[in-house]
Amino acid sequence: MPDDAAAYDPVVITGIGLITSLGHDRETVWNSIRAGRHGFARVTDLPWFRGEAIVAARVEWDDPVPGQLKAISLAQHAAREAMADAGFPLACGMDPTRFGIAVAGHMGDSSGIGGPSDTPKTSPDQIRWWEQVLPNTGCSHIANEFGILGPRLTHSVACASGLVSLLVARRAILDGQCDAALVGGAEALDPMFVACFRNMRALSPCEDPEEACRPFDRNRTGFVMGEGASLFVIERLSHALARGAKVYAEVQAGRILCQAHHVTRIDLESESLAKLIECCLDSANLEPEAIGYVNAHGTGTMQNDSAEMRGIASAMGSALGDVYVSATKSMIGHLVNAAGCAELAVTALAMRDGYAPATLNLTDPDAECVFDALPLVGRKRRFQYALKLSMAFGGHLVGAVLKRWNDPATGFAYPDESPRALAGRRGLRLDPSVPRVPAPHADATALVET
């Protein structure tokens, strides 16, 4: 923190929306993850697959608008939950030009790919394919619904898209372009997408939904595609405190690097990933020992897991024995464009409740899995700092560090905080006319429970 505490105005998370195959709202999904459940099933009705079954994590969902892409509908649902959680009315409740949005790109509507269609509308509200063929359609629809007039950003960087959306919106806030933003992404089972990953042999061929996804396991065979969406409201700390908002966590640091290697294959030496983690920690002014939990990309493919295990081990060094690492794709599947933001939501909720979720199906850890990957069962840990990693096709590497906002007045305080932590906390002034002085976080060592 700078010496001038009044100038310290970081970006914080004040609202979370989440929908996956485990549930249609944030708390249902999180409670299912805490219970160690998965949302996988055999799917046999994908177009072009002629009844062939694949294991997937599908969201059971009735699209409210006829013809609308499922990914867009899921994104809108998560956006509404995030905005309500943050305490914003539909019109944002602030200068709309100071409210931004960054939503990851999605697969466009390919139903008209064979040529123009003259099929009549089945209802007056039916959406035509050309009205949602662009990958930024979801971002535009959400911005229009909430009257957001600030920066409107859409990135398409494969599995890193959701986390990139968070970081670019954070930068827009820090640069003074806006005071708050709605960020995240969504994914649905697009048959072309699924076929591409299957032909790439990236999908698990296992027919048993119970065992299909096995991150960090010696017998892993690939990932399971999932559906869902996660969106966040992020804003300046001073802006959040002035309106009396609660705070989940500070987005303390984030970095984007790449592997100049191959479109789909991964550099197994992991130097770039180790460098990414080191840059994230340096930017957050943290030593590796401060990180209590890492939410890994953890797809369950041979290459990705090998590279990630090596990168984490190299960057964490002697602190490796004290960090928990887990791959929650083992429960919600790989949400591709929404993977980073959905897993960041899980990370923020894990930080809120002091519980690191498990890695399912990890019964025979790979020899290179030298950290505690929380096999089968999660564990209590009151960590103050967490790291989220994304590793995407195309060589994209993204990391984000979250810092828990541990304050009884404006955050999610642990119910039995230590006397030392309580004695060291200063009050927060909510009058917008005076400088904001953030409360110091409790000593991490006083909040660890294993």
- CA distance linking residue 158 with residue 394, whole number of Å: 8
315, 288 Cβ separation under 8 angstroms: yes
Q: Is 218 exposed, middle or buried (0-12, 13-18, 19+ CB in 10 A)?
A: middle
Q: Which of 36, 274, 295 is nearest to 163 (CA)?
A: 295
Report DSSP letters for 48-69, one per residue: TSTT--EEEEPPP---SSTT--
Q: Which of 355, 360, 331, 352 is nearest to 343 (CA)?
A: 331
Identify the bridge partners of residue 41 per DSSP, sorted by sequence position.
56
Q: 341-364 burial by CB neighbour count: b if 16+ within 10 A, else e?
A: bbbbbbbbbbbbebbbbbbbbbee
Amino acid sitting at position 373: A
Asked whether the CA dihedral 395, 157, 334, 198 is positive or negative, the reply is negative
- Return the active site residues: 159, 297, 334
The tokens for 313 are: 């081990």
272, 392 Cβ separation under 8 angstroms: no
447, 410 Cβ separation under 8 angstroms: no
Report DSSP letters for 239-259, one per residue: HHHHTT--B-EEEEEEEEEE-
Amino acid sitting at position 406: N
- CA distance linking residue 232 with residue 249, whole number of Å: 11
E strand map for 120-224: 152-153, 180-187
